[in-house]
Amino acid sequence: MGVVIDKAAAYMRPEITDPEDVYERAVTFLMERFQYYLKAAGDFGLVIQDQRQTGQDIRLRAFYRTLLVAGTRWTRFPAIIENVFLAPSHLSVGIQLADFVAGAIYY
């Protein structure tokens, strides 16, 4: 699964004021799609993501927690069983593969 955000269009929206808002919007779209996939598969899942800077990671964990507790306008997340796991990509072949795929989507 992947999400592409048109940054120029995103910054035209009043609720988008900084890069973290754009990032959180993309995370929201991805989480919703992941939840729909898990529901269709009758399964549960985890979110594992590349670490960023410490302050960004703290904000991101809090954002994921909010999503898991409150859901979004469109969905709740009962099939996602834990808050996000953050790991450095150089220690995870899986995250390196996801980076490779994301890079291909980006270009």
Please give the pLDDT value at position 14: 96
Integer angstrom CA distances of residue 65 from 47, 78, 86: 12, 12, 13
Over residues 27-84, the pLDDT tens digits come to 999 999 999 999 999 999 999 999 999 999 999 999 999 999 999 999 999 999 999 9
Please give the pLDDT value at position 96: 92
Q: Which spans in 4-106 are helix H?
A: 7-10, 19-41, 54-70, 93-106
Give domain limits for the chain: 7-106
Q: How confident is the model at residue 102 (pLDDT cuts 50, 70, 90)?
A: confident
Please give the pLDDT value at position 68: 96
Nearest-angstrom CA–CA distance, 47 and 59: 16
Type of residue found at 84? V
Task: Tell how far CA 101 is from the center of its chain.
Answer: 15
Please give the pLDDT value at position 55: 93
